[in-house]
Structure 1
Amino acid sequence: QLNTQPLWDFTYCETSKTDKEKCKVGMQSPASSGYVLQNTWHPKFCSVSDFSTVDKVQVCLKKKIIYILGDSTLRQWIYYFPQRVPTLKFFDLHEPGVFTTHLAIDHNTNTLITWKKHGNPFVTQVWFSIKDEDYVTREIDRVLGDKDTAIVLTLGQHFRPFPIEVFIRRVINVRRAIERLLLHSPDAKVIIKAENIREMYIDTERFGDFHGYVQHITLKDIFQGLNIGFIDAWDMTIAYGTNNVHPPDHVIWNQIIMFLTYLC
């Protein structure tokens, strides 16, 4: 006799999601951390807030200083923010290339958002300046931090061609820097974005998702127990089926919604 029970009860998902606690820093993200329904990401372990209007996003970002540290998958964030908040404007730092520091300011709400690339290894065919380049650990150590300070960081894509020991040492050092930050600034928010899945036809032997998955579970294990937020972009991009290291805007927006929920 065939089992006619559906594999996934979406009615249960829709009715139960409102009963879940709002996503907060310190929550543990389980394996298989969520699902996509109606083109929206739904975390299994918490619920996200409503940021469907410009006003709601502006209220959340008001007086915030946000440091975005990582690779081009987080650079997508700072490019996308002004699409949702038109009052966020880029300030020209007169630096060459796309891998320079990006600075966005909203004078109406006293919001400041910066993006900086992480240090070596950084694999690219594009020239970039190393004048102000530094490792993520040093960048975190420079942050004073208070209740209006947030750090978002990601590591992974550029580490894939190298031995896993390189990635492990870097992540352990980042964890220690976060511990130092939270020791003197416990109200600061730290959010880790996992790496995205990527194309399966671009130098798979070195950059394939096999290496990415090993790094993904390593990252979650090393950061376990810290009072931080975790955005499981790995599961999210699998659920959306992007197969693109730079996913489309609707996926980026769902990642940002997770961040804003942690932030506010």
Structure 2
Amino acid sequence: MSKPYPSGYFLNNLWHSNFCNLSSFEPLSQINECLTGKLIYLMGDSTLRQWIEYFQKHMKSLKFFNLPGHGIHTKYLALDMDRNIYIQWKKHGHPFVSPGIYSVKDCAYIAREIDGLPGSPNTIIVITLGQHFRGFPLHLFIRRLLSVRKAIERIFQRSPETKIFIKLENSREINTDVERISDFHGYIQYLLFKDLFKRLNVGIIDAWEMTQAFASYNLHPPETVIRNQINMFLSYIC
């Protein structure tokens, strides 16, 4: 959390960090090597679902398992049987605001999901929260962050080798319901997230600074930004 501001910059579509060394993971076969034997749990909103879609698009041996569900917000599961790679994305619990239909039967709070994992040196958890909370009272967001923090502390007690990452929320367009869900609210949540997770042994993917530097004012950033988020994530674990 003591990284400088700004923490990096974009040059030739690559994010250059000011506080750590990053690899570009090119060719993409390096991603396969890095993730071999890993169990990756992505917990959050659709900006994190973009990660599993990126992995599946570029890792040809990674295949989606056809899980039952309704709409695009159902649980995603991707498997590479040869390399023993397991990647799962699951939406966070309420509030989850979407114009699309989704089932509430598989809704689960992130803290409860973390409590259900045994943890291991090969277990990796990535968490993001924020976009769906912008239109609600701030104390709700704070309570959710505290619940997640306590769950992280518990999994570290039973499995200290588990790796956990926080992907901070990104900026978004400003032409949709500006009073409720604009970046004004998002920036406050961004600062809260960093403050409440100080002194906790987690990796940080600062999606806010990346999207600001790339001038990406879109709820779902372009693939270039997603690739650089994943590059930072892979640099942490590999």
> Same fold judged by TM-score > 0.5?
yes
Equivalent in 118, 126, 132 of residue 152 of structure 1: 126
Cα distance in 2, alignment partners of residues 30 and 136 from structure 1: 29
Using the size of structure 1 for normalisation, the TM-score is 0.88
1:83 Cα deviation from its structure 2 partner:
2.0
Unaligned runs of 5+ in 1: 1-26
Equivalent in 91, 95, 99 of residue 73 of structure 2: 99
1:29 Cα deviation from its structure 2 partner:
3.5
Equivalent in 42, 48, 55 of residue 29 of structure 2: 55
| Paired residue type of 2:171 | I
8 Å CA contact 1:67–1:150 kept in 2: the answer is yes
8 Å CA contact 1:146–1:188 kept in 2: the answer is yes
Structure 1 segment 173-212 matched on structure 2, within 5 A: 173-212=147-186
Q: Which residue number corresponds to residue 224 of structure 1? A: 198
**2:21 is the alignment partner of 1:36:** no
Using the size of structure 2 for normalisation, the TM-score is 0.98
**2:41 is the alignment partner of 1:67:** yes
**SS across alignment from 1:260:** helix
1:50 Cα deviation from its structure 2 partner:
3.6
How many residues are paired up? 238
Cα distance in 2, alignment partners of residues 174 and 30 from structure 1: 26
Higher mean C-alpha displacement, 47-56 vs 200-209: 47-56
Cα distance in 1, alignment partners of residues 121 and 2 from structure 2: 21
Q: Kindly provide the CA deviation profile for residues 147-167 of structure 1, in whole angstroms up to 9, marking residues without a partner as x.
A: 111000100000001111111
Equivalent in 87, 105, 109 of residue 113 of structure 1: 87
Cα distance in 2, alignment partners of residues 54 and 202 from structure 1: 36
User: Per the alignment, do residues 179 and 30 of structure 1 end up closer, same or farther by CA in structure 2, a change over 3 Å counting?
Assistant: farther
8 Å CA contact 1:147–1:188 kept in 2: the answer is yes
1:178 Cα deviation from its structure 2 partner:
0.5
Cα distance in 1, alignment partners of residues 235 and 197 from structure 2: 20
**SS across alignment from 1:105:** strand
Cα distance in 2, alignment partners of residues 50 and 125 from structure 1: 36
Unaligned runs of 5+ in 2: none
Q: Extract structure 1 runs of 4+ deviating beyond 4 A.
A: none
8 Å CA contact 1:81–1:88 kept in 2: the answer is yes
8 Å CA contact 1:29–1:232 kept in 2: the answer is no
Equivalent in 46, 58, 77 of residue 84 of structure 1: 58
Cα distance in 2, alignment partners of residues 212 and 30 from structure 1: 20
Q: Rg bigger for which structure?
A: 1
Cα distance in 1, alignment partners of residues 67 and 223 from structure 2: 25
Cα distance in 2, alignment partners of residues 69 and 111 from structure 1: 17
Cα distance in 2, alignment partners of residues 152 and 71 from structure 1: 11
Cα distance in 1, alignment partners of residues 152 and 230 from structure 2: 21
1:28 Cα deviation from its structure 2 partner:
4.0
1:133 Cα deviation from its structure 2 partner:
1.1
Cα distance in 2, alignment partners of residues 28 and 60 from structure 1: 27
Cα distance in 2, alignment partners of residues 67 and 178 from structure 1: 13
**SS across alignment from 2:135:** coil
Q: Kindly provide the CA deviation profile for residues 73-101 of structure 1, in whole angstroms up to 9, marking residues without a partner as x.
A: 00111111022211110000121211111
- Percent of pairs with identical residues: 53
| Paired residue type of 1:233 | A
